[in-house]
Structure 1
Amino acid sequence: MQPHAKHNLMSHTTPLSIKRILHLGVGAFHRAHQAWYLNLLLEGGETKWALAAGNIRPDMPELLLDLQAQGGEYTLETVTPAGIFSYERIRSISDILPWTADLKAVVAVGRHEDTRVISFTVTEAGYYLNQHQQLDLSYDDLRSDLEQGTQLTIYGAMGSILRARRDDDAGPVTLLCCDNIRSNGDHFRKGLLDFLARRGEPALLTWAQDNITCPNGMVDRITPKPPAEVKDRVKAATGLHDKCAVMAEEFSQWVVEDHFCNGRPPWEKVGVEMVTSVMPYEEAKIRILNASHSCIAWAGALKGFDTIHAALADPVIKQMAFDYVTDDVIPCLSPSIIDLAQYRDTVLDRFSNPYINDTIERVAADGFAKIPGFIAPTIAERLAQQQPFVSTAMLPALFLAFLQSRAAGNITFSYKDQAMDEATVASILNAADCVRAFCGNALLWGPLAGNAILEANVRDAYLSIKGKLS
């Protein structure tokens, strides 16, 4: 590509000397979290960095058009558990990139030498990794990217960007994961390099090994799908008719390993924790917040609740989440640089926020990724320590009961789970012993699959659910 062609998709309002972040995944979470942090920097006078954002899937066409029409600007509404609402105008996204199947706009920005960081938000299943942290070739999208050269996955898209950067001699780039996977940067790097090797691109593989870094990071801000009434509240508070308004809780946290290969914004000026190792922060967040969130969602769905705060108001459900963290997670993670009991209480307080109206539907999703990612590690550690895990066993038991309730037509929402295979679920639910089949599933349990102690504990918890949630 000629130099002038590389510039065609860059914003005319953003000087080319500005260093740029390209973010893939223009959903509500990115706009309430990473874009918000950069906006804080801009408001503080830091103008050396800009943000371009686009999608690699055609799933948000109206949002992209609306954001383009608003010049990339939108309003963030935040609310505390006490009901204090605040409004901020976010102006940090200078370029909204249109989606096309060839990802032309995304690749054009990604290949530019001024793009120093490429960040992205994918779901738990979006890494396409199996229990051995290797690429799972059972996914059609992944095989298509490998065999047909499509760009349906984060690996296919990133492969195209890196190939273009190498061809343009655009220099090193940091690839920054912004999601709930532990050691996300390490896992993404492993998956990406495996992808390039399987594609038969040894030269690009070598270039990538020498020119990318993938810091691990932990992100945290409850950000529900914005309900329709957010636009009305924004109009009343600001006078703006904003089609792209987003809402979130007031709390926000971002912890990132300071492992960037070609510069980064001074995020530490606005509260981002730049650390040597993110491990203690992400373990606390994944096991305490994410896993208990799922516990509340699955139990809430079984009792017919629609929102997380309503489910948490049920004393039995709240006790399940509290006991899970207190009895098993805190012993596993102690000693810690974090006050784990205080963190537990803060998390439950955040979940109780009635103004967020976070839905059971959103949080209940992706159980086939959350069991191995969020829950199985605590069980594995308790087994290794020959310690009980009665309280943790309740979480997978709730998920099994949830799957049964869904199959019976008793779940009112459409359950989404990228890692789930319907035939596998049917085989579990139709087995003569569904608990044994569930606990023997390698996708859910990896090396724990078939463990007799796991099965016994999940069986006891499963048999107790009807009495607890009736």
Structure 2
Amino acid sequence: MEKLNYQVLEQSGYQGYVLKDAPVKVMQFGEGNFLRAFVDYFFDMANEHADWNGKVTLVQPIAQGLTEYVNAQEGLYTLYLRGSENGQKVNNKRVISAVKDCINPYTAEGFKALLELAKSDDLEYIVSNTTEAGIVYDPDTKFDQEPPVSFPGKMTRVLYERFKAGKGGLVVLSCELIDANGQVLKQIVNRHIDEWGLGEDFKNWVNEKVLFCSTLVDRIVPGRIRDPKEVAELEAENGYTDPLTDVGEVFGVWYIEGPKELEDKLPFKKAGVNVHVVPEVAPYKKRKVRILNGAHTGFVLGAYLAGFDIVRDCMHDEVIRDYMNKMLQDEIIPILPLDKEDCEKFASAVEDRFNNPFVDHQLMSISLNSTSKWRARNMPSFLEYVEKFGKLPAVLTMSFAAYMAFYSCDIQRREEDGLVCKRPAGNEYKIQDDAFVLDFYFAHKDDDVKTLVHAVMTNTEFWGQDLTEIAGFEEATVQNLTLIREQGAKAAYASVL
């Protein structure tokens, strides 16, 4: 069977949207699964629904990558967006044709092609997702390296080439998972300009003509299909092979921080896709962390003790699902600084996302580092609720006891990479967290409930404060942990509904 390309796609009888020729308007640092299932999908939709008529050239950000695969398929790849919407199973297939090709700047020919693209009159955007480690200052990065070692170094060199050619500015859309990603990138670029002596004229051009946008991305992208049987079935159905096949969840939203006029420049609003230009992304990040991530940390630890193993099964249990929704609707959404209806829609989508029939999301994988996760994701909602309403939030209070129960359930032994406990069902499980956290719980494995609760809540290294100073919290946690141990986590969850 032949590999996907335009001729093979036509022969296969594919009936979907395809755009073969268009000018390259986007330089994209990153050719991995996430960007191809997210950013390139949105640009592809813009071609179909907004007559954007643009292509994306991918740039391989590290020495090893997918350039040969992308170019062998003329930029084409198959994307499956899978999940649940309004309780209904969704499995959408789309061949993405927004990508033109891929450049490997670690070859002499590729580096030359990168600099040529930088000077293009058609170029409008630079997109990046070089992982959290990508936007960092590296003192070993030099201007005359081909290419400069770090991503900000490459960005500086690309912009300098464009400036020297007398071309206009660009919009930079950073998708790395760090706070203020666009602004951090801009700061490092400016540092390289100063240290490399590239001149005030160039520096002024960068700061006046190049719009560095911080963005918030949200889509789970499992990536490859790993089941050989399913791969064979899809190849037979499609009429081609495609090693670049990508899989993402059906939900996806992109928040771009920028001026209002950027919304009209970008093609996404006209295309009707879930991409939004906002004055700042911080409130939307808070919403994601408090609702999506907070829901995970808030219910999974007790759910695991109650006998559940994957997130989807939790959504099929009335008690666990209602417990999560009560936490979101009654205790988290009321204290968020965003439109209530918007938050409720996001929370509703979270239930669909957790109910994804295509993803077996293990509770134990979510449990990693739950001490710092509860502090970052749940404690702020807890404290703000107490301050606003003058009482304890019942579900979040219970979630803290469930965290303690998970970390102290019939502790067996301390191993080098974790703390081994025994679940009520009888199987052992390994807690993984910072060493000082695991050492603490092992040292307190013989404590009674009251002693353990006091020790945990007064551990300021864990929480940054003494939680016993919150009126009624210690007493409630003693009662909740006792209930979990005596009647089980599910009965404890039911008690707050």
TM-score, structure 1 normalization: 0.70
- Matched with 1:189 is 183
Per the TM alignment, residue 94 of structure 1 is displaced from its structure 2 partner at its CA by 0.9
How far is the alpha carbon of 1:197 from its aligned partner? 3.6
1:435 to 449, 456, 459: 456
Query: What do you get for the CA RMSD once the two structures are aligned?
Result: 4.6
- Do the aligned partners of 2:335 and 2:385 also contact (CA within 8 Å) in 1? yes
Asked if 1:121 is matched to 2:129, the reply is yes
Q: Output aligned runs, 1:86-97, within 5 Å.
A: 86-97=92-103
| Superposed displacement of residue 309, structure 1 | 1.2
Closer, same or farther: CA 285–101 of 1 in aligned 2, 3 Å: farther
Classify 1:329/1:356 alpha carbon distance in 2 versus 1 (closer, same or farther; 3 Å): same
Q: Does 1:146 align with 2:139?
A: yes
* Distance in 1 of aligned mates of 2:370 and 2:167: 40
Partner residue, 1:6 = none
SS at match of 2:100: strand
Distance 1:330 1:314 in 2: 22
For residue 407 of structure 1, report the CA deviation from its aligned partner: 0.7
Q: Letter of the aligned partner of 2:155 in structure 1?
A: M
Task: Indicate the residue corresponding to 1:4 in structure 2.
Answer: none
| Larger CA Rg, structure 1 vs 2 | 2
Distance 2:300 2:149 in 1: 30
Residue type at the aligned position of 2:169: P
The equivalent residue for 1:67 is 70
Q: Name the counterpart of 2:392.
A: 388
Partner of residue 27, structure 2: 22
1:343 aligns with 2:346: yes
Alignment of structure 1 residues 93-172 onto 2, 5 Å? 93-98=99-104, 100=106, 104=111, 108=115, 111-113=118-120, 114-121=122-129, 125-126=132-133, 142=136, 145-146=138-139, 149=142, 154-172=151-169
After superposition, the C-alpha distances for 1:315-337 in whole angstroms (9 at most, x for unaligned) are 55434532331232111126615
Query: Gaps (5+ residues) in structure 1?
Result: 1-12, 129-141, 416-421
* Residues 457 and 468 in structure 2, CA contact (< 8 A), matched pair in contact too: no
Displacement of 1:352 in angstroms is 0.8
Structure 2: distance between partners of 1:355 and 1:300 = 20
Distance 1:157 1:395 in 2: 45
- Higher deviation after alignment, 157-166 or 220-229: 157-166
Alpha-carbon separation, structure 1, partners of 2:250 and 2:164: 43
Equivalence for 1:267: 268
1:133 corresponds to? none
Name the CA shift for 1:160/1:361 in 2 (closer, same or farther; >3 Å): farther
Counterpart of 1:131? none
- Structure 2 residue 477 is matched with structure 1 residue 460: yes
Partners of 2:112 and 2:477 lie apart in 1 by 54
Secondary structure at 2:335 match in 1: helix
State whether residues 82 and 250 of structure 2, in contact with CA within 8 Å, keep that contact through their aligned partners in structure 1: yes
Structure 2: gaps spanning 5 or more residues:
1-19, 412-416, 422-427, 445-454, 492-497
Q: Deviations over 1:123-162 (max 9, x none)?
A: 5x5487xxxxxxxxxxxxx46x135559666544434444
Mapping 1:210-225, distance limit 5 Å: 210-225=208-223
| Counterpart residue number, 1:136 | none
Change (3 A) 1:262 1:390: closer
SS in structure 2 of the partner of residue 146 of structure 1: coil
Out of 173, 177, 180, the position equivalent to 1:176 is 173
C-alpha distance in 2, partners of 1:158/1:379? 41
1:245 counterpart = 2:262: no
Alignment of 1:336-415 (within 5 A): 336=339, 338-358=341-361, 374-375=377-378, 377-379=380-382, 381-382=384-385, 384-385=387-388, 386-389=390-393, 391-392=395-396, 407-408=418-419
Percent identical residues? 21
Q: Is the 8 A contact 2:222 2:248 kept in 1?
A: yes
Q: 2-side partners of 1:316 and 1:100: how far apart?
A: 54
Equivalent-residue separation in structure 2 for 1:392 and 1:109 (angstroms): 55
